[in-house]
A = this chain, B = another copy of it.
């Protein structure tokens, strides 16, 4: 049926072993022999049998990239960047070595699917796995993930976190690139406070996610530092702070509805901070829907600085995360092309981008 190594060997009048060695380039082969083999490969249009190869060599060239939501550019940008570092040398025809199959797997934010994908990847004996985005904080799930990653790791799979905080135990993970969500959140709210805002509504992401919590903690740090809403710490916030916080998924609809809710709870809010830019878009729509102007009546801010944010009207004040750079670095780490940061953990800075959607509150 399909062409096998043996067929190529026969045509090139060498042994299968030699063909294998030519293809893998990991053993000296005389130039004339190599040419003969390569010609035979071309003539027969031979394609290596991946499973057989992986079985015999006990390794595969699959690299998995797990994302929470593939339709969200936040993940798309990171995944694309990672993939570009993994997918072999440039986009050349290169039948050369390092060719890996970088694939992205969409968990939809579901812990069960995350685990399923990890198992599938383990089954394929993946060479590396990159986990992107915030993690669920449920201890049961976290333990399951840890265990799974440990097994993957000692089967030789390299594990990299990208935009995801390190595991409590550390353990199996080769490298963690974590965004400074807390710092970014803090600086964003500081900016608002410094403009004169006091009543700031916060549209948070889904509960129990590290990203959500860190950004929210940064926000509250800034609020408290400004002497607003007294003491209290992460878990026990001042009641007014709780009242001005609404949780929801990371999508525009959630931003829209949460903002309406916020405006209802306290018609006096002068600023809305959203969990991310997509949510901020929905928030902005809700604000305008109430007949309020941005930023004159209500300031709106996002997080991530996705490409569309600069084109929003008015241009969105947000926190820039170097998604592309982080994804690319994660890809290199996964390939072993870059040495991990000291301690295996790197924190990636988040930069405040002040644009036109925030301004001082209306006096009076």
B123 touches A47 (CB 8 A): yes
Knowing A55-B49, A311-B282 are in contact, say whether A88-B71 is a contact too (CB < 8 A).
Answer: no
B76 touches A71 (CB 8 A): yes
A155 contacts chain B at the CB level, 8 A cutoff: yes
A188-207 CB contacts (< 8 Å) to partner B: none
Q: Which residues of B contact A105 (CB under 8 A)?
A: 83, 101-104
What separation, in Å, do the CA atoms of A62 and B47 have in the docked complex? 17
Q: Which residues of B contact A75 (CB under 8 A)?
A: 76
A151 contacts chain B at the CB level, 8 A cutoff: yes
A60 touches B51 (CB 8 A): yes
Counting chain B CB atoms within 10 Å of each CB, which of A52, A55, A122, A308 scores highest? A308
A155-172 CB contacts (< 8 Å) to partner B: 155
In this complex, what residue of B is CB-closest to A72?
Answer: B76
A2 contacts chain B at the CB level, 8 A cutoff: yes
Binds B, one of A110-118, A216-224, A336-344: A110-118
What separation, in Å, do the CA atoms of A93 and B71 have in the docked complex? 24
A143 contacts chain B at the CB level, 8 A cutoff: no
A70-125 CB contacts (< 8 Å) to partner B: 70-73, 75-77, 79-80, 83-84, 87-88, 91-94, 99, 101-106, 108, 110, 112-113, 115-117, 119-125
Q: Which residues of B contact A69 (CB under 8 A)?
A: 76, 80
B80 touches A108 (CB 8 A): yes
A285 contacts chain B at the CB level, 8 A cutoff: yes
Q: Which residues of B contact A62 (CB under 8 A)?
A: 124
Knowing A125-B51, A281-B311 are in contact, say whether A104-B101 is a contact too (CB < 8 A).
Answer: no
Copies in the complex: 2
A45 contacts chain B at the CB level, 8 A cutoff: yes
Counting chain B CB atoms within 10 Å of each CB, which of A110, A120, A121 scores highest? A120
Q: Which residues of B contact A50 (CB under 8 A)?
A: 51, 54, 120, 123-125
What separation, in Å, do the CA atoms of A106 and B103 have in the docked complex? 8
A252 touches B311 (CB 8 A): yes
A99 touches B116 (CB 8 A): yes
**Contacting A112 at CB < 8 Å: which of B77, B91, B155?**
B91
Knowing A2-B155, A76-B70, A308-B281 are in contact, say whether A52-B55 is a contact too (CB < 8 A).
Answer: yes
Q: Which residues of B contact A252 (CB under 8 A)?
A: 307-308, 311
Q: Which residues of B contact A106 (CB under 8 A)?
A: 79-80, 83-84, 87, 102, 104
**Contacting A48 at CB < 8 Å: which of B48, B123, B278?**
B123
Tell me how far the C-beta of A83 lies from the nearest C-beta in chain B, rounded to whole angstroms: 5
Knowing A49-B55, A51-B52, A71-B73 are in contact, say whether A116-B87 is a contact too (CB < 8 A).
Answer: yes
A10 contacts chain B at the CB level, 8 A cutoff: no
A355 contacts chain B at the CB level, 8 A cutoff: no
What separation, in Å, do the CA atoms of A151 and B46 have in the docked complex? 11
Knowing A91-B113, A103-B103, A285-B311 are in contact, say whether A84-B108 is a contact too (CB < 8 A).
Answer: yes
**Contacting A79 at CB < 8 Å: which of B49, B70, B77, B94?**
B70
A269-297 CB contacts (< 8 Å) to partner B: 278, 281-282, 284-285, 288
Knowing A54-B51, A83-B70, A151-B45 are in contact, say whether A93-B112 is a contact too (CB < 8 A).
Answer: yes
The 7 tightest CB contacts between A and B, nearest first, are A103-B103, A51-B54, A313-B313, A71-B76, A50-B123, A51-B55, A51-B51
Between-chain CB contacts (< 8 Å), 13 pairs = A45-B151, A50-B51, A51-B124, A52-B55, A70-B70, A70-B83, A80-B108, A84-B108, A93-B116, A101-B124, A252-B308, A284-B313, A312-B313
